[in-house]
Structure 1
Amino acid sequence: MGTFITNLIMSFLLAFGVVIGGSLFGGIGAFLTHQPPILTIKQLSNDLKIWALVVSLGGTFDSFKTFESGLFDGNLSGMIRQLLMIITGLAGAYSGRIAILWLIKGDIE
């Protein structure tokens, strides 16, 4: 169970880091190219959420294969674990977006 908890924490923090890092570095790029950095940061924090989830799951289809085996082969424990990994990745990405909006004092939508 310890490895699973470790994977959940890693999934959350990876998704969180992708949104935070991508948004902030994208804002630097916007500044360097004379674009509005705050608007760019806000838009990127929203656009990067799905990519943060992909990164947190490892970028493979193993999650979907495990989910499929849970549905059709009765392996419910694997399916529940993958579902928790997906939820944790989504929570990390959403938390990263909230942190960015808090940082730029944007409206939480």
Structure 2
Amino acid sequence: MNVILTKAGLDFFIAFGVVMGGSMLAGIGSVFLLLPPTSMMLSTASNLKIWAIVAAVGGSIDPMRVIESNISEGHLSPAAIQIAYIAIAFLGAHMGTEMVKLICKGAV
């Protein structure tokens, strides 16, 4: 159980960090390119959300294979755990996107 919670926590923070870090760096880059940083950060955060989830759960098609193979064999527990990892990664990416929106709210 401890391993499952540890991986879930890492998935959350990896997805959160991908969105926050990517959008912050996009904001810094937009300043150098004389573009509006707020709009660049907001669009980057929403564009990175799906990629943050993919990066957090493994970065490939393997999580989908785990779900498919376990369900076809009748083992629902590993498939449910993998779906939970994806949901937790989504929560991290969504929270990162909302945090960027909150940060940029004062500048808009």
Structure 2 match to 1:81:
81
Once superposed, which parts of structure 1, at least 4 consecutive aligned residues long, lie more than 3 Å away? none
Identity %: 35
Q: CA RMSD, aligned part only?
A: 1.0
Aligned equivalents of 1:16, 1:100: Cα separation in 2: 10
Where structure 1 has 5 or more consecutive residues not aligned to the other structure, the ranges are: none
Q: How many residues are paired up?
A: 106
Q: What are the equivalent positions in structure 2 for 1:50-65 lying under 5 Å apart?
A: 50-65=50-65
Q: Deviations over 1:28-52 (max 9, x none)?
A: 0011001111000010010000110
More helix, by proportion: 2
Aligned equivalents of 1:71, 1:77: Cα separation in 2: 9
Structure 1 match to 2:34:
34
TM-score (norm 1): 0.94
Aligned equivalents of 1:52, 1:88: Cα separation in 2: 11
Where structure 2 has 5 or more consecutive residues not aligned to the other structure, the ranges are: none
